[in-house]
Amino acid sequence: MTCYNKNENVVAIENATPLFNSQIISSWGVCSKYFIKVHALLYAERFARRGDITIPKSTAIFNELKSKGYLNNRNYFIGFSNAMVNAYTTNYTAFSKFNSLTVLQKLNVIEQIDLSVSDYQIYSDYNQATLKFFNTQCI
């Protein structure tokens, strides 16, 4: 199973490698799936999806990210979450809305940003998805 990241921030060679690997595996007669994960836009309620952040607080975080230049004019996150995390670590008082969250809520926000930019991350169903792939492969 190979994943391709359709994020313009990812270098072309990084995008070509999964396809190449999938083709090699297929040439051995082993089933290989090639997935494309696209960049998704952020919206004001995005951080409230899990339920531990209210919609007004989610909207405030969204607006804080937008006002600090982390979102483009179409509300796609620019770059990756580590840039925002580094800026927060350097000057946490500049992020009043993000700073008001608990540690778990902050991790939720970062996870949602990572998901929106198609950053690589192991998700909670990773083991189950891997086992399903090994059991069913290309069926």
Quote the tokens at residue 105: 């809520």
Higher pLDDT, 133 or 83: 83
| Chain segment 17-26, per-residue pLDDT in tens | 777 888 888 8
Confidence check: pLDDT of 126 > 60: no
Task: Assign 1 a pLDDT band (cuts: 50, 70, 90).
Answer: very low
**Tokens 């270098």 -> residue:** 11
The DSSP H or E segment spanning 23 is: helix 12-27
- The whole-number pLDDT of residue 137 equals 64
Largest distance between two CA atoms of the chain: 56
Which of 11-15, 62-66, 116-120 ranks highest by mean pLDDT?
62-66
- The whole-number pLDDT of residue 3 equals 45
Q: What's at 31, amino acid-wise?
A: C
Distances (CA, A) of 63 to 58, 59, 87, 108, 126: 9, 6, 16, 17, 32
Distances (CA, A) of 78 to 39, 51, 73: 10, 25, 10
| Chain segment 39-97, per-residue pLDDT in tens | 788 999 999 998 999 999 999 999 999 999 999 999 999 988 999 999 999 998 999 99
The chain-wide mean pLDDT, for the chain, equals 81
Confidence check: pLDDT of 120 > 80: no
**How is the chain split into domains, by residue range?**
2-39+123-136, 46-116
- The whole-number pLDDT of residue 129 equals 67
Higher pLDDT, 110 or 80: 110
Share of the chain above pLDDT 70, in %: 75
